[in-house]
Amino acid sequence: IISIHAGAGNIHKQWTTQGFVKIADWLASKGCQVIFVGSGRDLEKIKAIMTRLSHEAHNLGGSLSPGELMALFHMSSLFLGNDSGPMHLAAVLGTPVVALFGPTAPWRTGPYGSRHRVLRMERDCSPCFQQNCETIECMTTIEVADVLRAVVEQLDKE
């Protein structure tokens, strides 16, 4: 089971829809059960991803209680997502995490520990901690190949 949270409280902290599509499709093609999670405000992005997938995935966005989300993370082999509340919850519960960071600083907010992997692109403007940006280069330039490599490395550890 791979839990994916494509949303975040701020759109500027979100990786690309197409990036999540490619990773989710690859994972599902390898036999992983891909489950998208998030709040009701994440449903539009989850639906945009789900309509582009070639393989089966599940959308539990907006439907899980906090306890159910915790149970899912306990059953998950990996959590993939942006800097967000669900990412921090997965990390605290000990689920291996691949976290995508842009305008915020992982050295300040985690996830902490050797079971987790942070990906971010070095930019002169990042971390800026801003909630508006015209280019969002810090998120849009995170490469699918780098995320896939981190996901595979994390899964190989387990």
Q: How far apart are CA 51 and CA 49, in angstroms?
A: 6
pLDDT of residue 127: 66
Cα 144 from chain centre: 12
Tens-digit pLDDT string for the chain (158 aa): 999 999 998 887 899 999 999 999 999 999 999 999 999 999 999 999 999 999 999 999 999 999 999 999 999 999 999 999 999 999 999 999 999 988 777 678 888 888 899 988 776 666 655 667 676 776 788 899 999 999 999 999 86
pTM here is 0.92
Q: Which of 1, 154, 157, 7 is closest to 87 using CA atoms?
A: 7
